[in-house]
Chains A and B, each alone.
Chain A
């Protein structure tokens, strides 16, 4: 622990402000200004918001970008909070685990855009007549696109904390609070940060959908990059679409440099493998913050408070044995099971009531058929994307220099909302008189195909040098090389990427099966278009039905196809 010195006067300014100090100060002030500016409008009444319509003037873009980014970060904060509570409960409490883990699994497969339409009303009612309500709804929508994979990764990390560390922390009698922050969180950190980055990329796609909120007949447009893009599309302003893309690029670059790189560099120490690995990741921002004594001074009081809190014995059940799986647990599990059963019964009643009032059996049949149509699209697209990106990924992954260039580009492309390509696609379809049923489909996989690429690159890069040398030594070339070396080695990685890509494509179908450019509106047949259409009409029963059927498809495909494939690949082809 560093000791805080009283501010010295003598050697004062020269030492107080080194280059690093200035830069660090600037960074902090910039952050404060940004937060103040972006949150100023929150308490505005809605009516006022509607009086200042969104403008396509690029000079507003910095402000819009700031507000969008703030929403994304607030959602990220919520996602972290959710992760730390939900996943911890699931990992530490055996009874809770039985319910929470499957629940999370299902939540993961519910189309996110479905959440928006259903939850908007609730959030608007929380702060009636104020922008705050709409902001809540938007932030919640972004949250749902970020939280699940983070929670899953954290849960899995908590379950795999090495047993000797658990024993050591219990032997030295760390309280639960201290164990959580000193053992659990650090161990989970590298995996969690990686998932945070994926979540940030993924959530851009939904920013566009969440900033223009319709409730019945009124539409609330929250100022932001997403709503800017919608407006640009509605007004057929190609230049504005270009500005939006440029803004996104800049924002992504900034938060990558200012937030994620420092985080990755900082979290390097939490890697559990004890060997000193390759060159550790570096970040100039982290260097600045570390070298600045001013930052030290500002954070020292908090650091001390934080360290003190470790001594607290919150949530401590005293020195008793930790409850193990055996032992007579008494009434607790019975009561718990009772509560779960009761909840299940209530939920079943709700669902049945909801379903029987507004949905007919014919509707169910229709949505199932539409689901099959969308399923066909997803299957064909994933197959096509695999044919293209697996060879590319292997090629790139076996060449470290190429990988260094391609990885960040792919990460940006993954964040790219499909809506931005609407102008080109819609115009092309209209001009060439193409079938929207076929030609709208590529939009579904636009953002998600990159997950296949990332993962295959990572897999190819992980092929041990010896194995490749063996290939060269025995002159294993051409198709044989692919069949015996490259494809088996990347298979586990490919499957991981393909699961994400296929789930994401289902999600994207809600946006991609209906495309518009100004007054031109194209619709493909499919479950995504169905949900989008019912959302526009505001038929909540059918929205719910559509979402339920889509979740069903996603879960079924995962259980019957992807999971078995993943297990097989892991068992047979995991190298090392």
Chain B
């Protein structure tokens, strides 16, 4: 019984890029899932953890490497691997019962068995009485229960969960998590192992036996952390807090990409291929002000500020990234601290803030500097968006290129570094006067 349920060896995933090259999403992934284990895949947006889940589910073929499930190569959607989706993925035209029966019907089981098993799963997951309801009549929590029942009813060996609680409000998510862990602990679930994707650090520590930390661009496993705490786990337990803090440090230690952290103030980095976080200038000012104010006085513990400002960790990381990129704050050992420029920014009036922002933007964000330089070089000071878009697409996926351009546009507008006209899809130096 000691054989692994799932064995992933040197897995690599690339997606085709617009210029014909390849974009590396996952690299060198090694992963084993043993009997009775819950393994968490923890990482930030863009770390490819959801892609990994889809590879394991056999929805997408890997570019290289192997996935072995119970000794057999995975070559497509395998029986015995079921998935729970972030957005529930229920069929709105089927009732709760019909949604749950779907997977069994696909197996071609006799009708009596389908019905009996579906009702049993509905009963187990606490959906009694909702059999004939349509998904649109249910609350988010109830919908995800249907998602769980639908996955469990086919008696999978492995349950894959793709951020199953992140679309729910905090209380509902907590209830569902606790219910799930109770059923799992009591051995009532017909599953042998679980892989859960999450970006919520506390959730990972609450649920998992092992946590794999992912880096971004490309996604690699940077660290494996075992969790030996006994279930049910207590968030206030000092050991629990330590673990959370440790993961924060591990995750933020790698946040900035090399050219930024190495660049001395005043020098211009030459690479424009950094994916810019989608953070508005308002959010940036908001976090800076929070940091400067009581009780932080310019320095805060990331888990604490995430909790206090009720930000998802992932959002907080994105904002922190933006601050660090603009040299308005720096992150070290799970702490975030205002820089001198950051303090100046907070103390300044609107117009001065814009001036400071513009300076930081043009100094430390190579793409902004690049666009500005091109605009200055051109006689009419106008350049089409597509020109920069094509350039970015050589380095990143189409979606990332779109996002990055949107971010730089939003920042440039705030800092009045250059203007963008959506009708003509052009950048220009002229702001309407």
Asked if B92 is an interface residue, CB under 8 A from chain A, the answer is yes
Chain A neighbourhood of B59, CB < 8 A: 167, 170-171, 322
B105 to A311, Cβ gap below 8 A? yes
Contact partner of B106 (CB less than 8 A), chosen from A174, A189, A269, A273, is A174
Asked if A23 is an interface residue, CB under 8 A from chain B, the answer is no
Known: A276-B137, A310-B105, A311-B105. A172 touches B82 (CB 8 A): yes
Known: A172-B103, A174-B102, A326-B16. A319 touches B76 (CB 8 A): yes
B136 to A171, Cβ gap below 8 A? no
Known: A174-B102, A270-B93. A167 touches B76 (CB 8 A): no
Residue of chain B at shortest CB distance from A186: B93
A307-B89 Cα distance, complex, nearest whole Å:
22
A168-B88 Cα distance, complex, nearest whole Å:
9
How close is B302's CB to chain A, nearest CB, in angstroms?
31
Instruction: List which B147-180 residues lie within 8 A (CB) of chain A.
Output: 150, 154
A302-B331 Cα distance, complex, nearest whole Å:
66
A165, A167, A272, A327 — most chain B CB neighbours (10 Å)? A167
A183-B75 Cα distance, complex, nearest whole Å:
23
Asked if B54 is an interface residue, CB under 8 A from chain A, the answer is yes
B136 to A274, Cβ gap below 8 A? yes
Chain B neighbourhood of A311, CB < 8 A: 105-106, 108
Chain B neighbourhood of A183, CB < 8 A: 91
Asked if B186 is an interface residue, CB under 8 A from chain A, the answer is no
B102 to A321, Cβ gap below 8 A? no
Chain A neighbourhood of B75, CB < 8 A: 319-321
How close is B87's CB to chain A, nearest CB, in angstroms?
5
Known: A167-B59, A321-B60, A321-B61. A173 touches B136 (CB 8 A): no
Instruction: List which A143-190 residues lie within 8 A (CB) of chain B.
Output: 162, 164-165, 167-168, 170-175, 178, 182-183, 186, 189
Asked if B423 is an interface residue, CB under 8 A from chain A, the answer is yes
Asked if B415 is an interface residue, CB under 8 A from chain A, the answer is no
Q: Mark B65-104, 1 if CB is under 8 A from A, else 0.
A: 0000000000111110111011111011110000000110
A175-B60 Cα distance, complex, nearest whole Å:
17
Asked if A271 is an interface residue, CB under 8 A from chain B, the answer is yes
Asked if B58 is an interface residue, CB under 8 A from chain A, the answer is yes
A271 to B154, Cβ gap below 8 A? no
Asked if A275 is an interface residue, CB under 8 A from chain B, the answer is yes
Contact partner of A172 (CB less than 8 A), chosen from B16, B92, B102, is B102
Residue of chain A at shortest CB distance from B99: A168
A319-B134 Cα distance, complex, nearest whole Å:
30
How close is B101's CB to chain A, nearest CB, in angstroms?
9
Asked if A572 is an interface residue, CB under 8 A from chain B, the answer is yes
Contact partner of A171 (CB less than 8 A), chosen from B57, B92, B135, is B57
Known: A178-B106, A183-B91. A164 touches B85 (CB 8 A): yes
Contact partner of B61 (CB less than 8 A), chosen from A165, A189, A307, A324, is A324
Contact partner of A173 (CB less than 8 A), chosen from B79, B91, B94, B423, is B79
Chain A neighbourhood of B154, CB < 8 A: 172
Interface size grouping (class) on chain A: 35 or more
Q: Mark B264-279, 1 if CB is under 8 A from A, else 0.
A: 0000000000000000
B76 to A182, Cβ gap below 8 A? no
Residue of chain A at shortest CB distance from B85: A164
A171 to B93, Cβ gap below 8 A? no
Residue of chain B at shortest CB distance from A165: B89
Chain B neighbourhood of A164, CB < 8 A: 85-89
Residue of chain B at shortest CB distance from A1: B111
Known: A168-B85, A173-B106, A270-B92. A319 touches B136 (CB 8 A): no
A29-B184 Cα distance, complex, nearest whole Å:
57
Known: A269-B92, A271-B92, A324-B60. A172 touches B76 (CB 8 A): no
Chain B neighbourhood of A325, CB < 8 A: 16
B91 to A182, Cβ gap below 8 A? yes
Chain A neighbourhood of B87, CB < 8 A: 164
Residue of chain A at shortest CB distance from B140: A274
Chain A neighbourhood of B134, CB < 8 A: 269
B106 to A175, Cβ gap below 8 A? yes
Chain B neighbourhood of A321, CB < 8 A: 58, 60-61, 75-76
Known: A269-B92, A321-B60. A171 touches B82 (CB 8 A): yes
How close is B386's CB to chain A, nearest CB, in angstroms?
15
Contact partner of B77 (CB less than 8 A), chosen from A319, A324, A327, is A319
A183-B92 Cα distance, complex, nearest whole Å:
10
A274-B106 Cα distance, complex, nearest whole Å:
24
Asked if A10 is an interface residue, CB under 8 A from chain B, the answer is no
How close is B113's CB to chain A, nearest CB, in angstroms?
13
Instruction: List which A309-346 residues lie within 8 A (CB) of chain B.
Output: 310-311, 318-322, 324-327
B102 to A165, Cβ gap below 8 A? no
B92 to A167, Cβ gap below 8 A? no
Known: A165-B89, A186-B93. A171 touches B83 (CB 8 A): yes
Residue of chain A at shortest CB distance from B136: A274
A167 to B85, Cβ gap below 8 A? yes
How close is B40's CB to chain A, nearest CB, in angstroms?
20
A182 to B89, Cβ gap below 8 A? no
How close is B151's CB to chain A, nearest CB, in angstroms?
8
A171 to B91, Cβ gap below 8 A? no
Chain B neighbourhood of A276, CB < 8 A: 136-137
Chain B neighbourhood of A310, CB < 8 A: 105-106
B77 to A171, Cβ gap below 8 A? yes
Q: Mark A4-22, 1 if CB is under 8 A from B, else 0.
A: 0000000000000000000
How close is A301's CB to chain B, nearest CB, in angstroms?
14
| 19 A-B contact pairs sorted by A residue (CB < 8 Å) | A1-B111, A164-B89, A165-B89, A165-B91, A167-B89, A168-B83, A171-B77, A172-B103, A173-B107, A189-B93, A270-B92, A274-B135, A311-B108, A318-B76, A319-B75, A320-B76, A321-B75, A321-B76, A324-B60
Known: A164-B85, A164-B89, A310-B106. 7 other contacts (CB 8 A): A165-B89, A168-B83, A171-B77, A183-B91, A269-B93, A276-B136, A319-B76
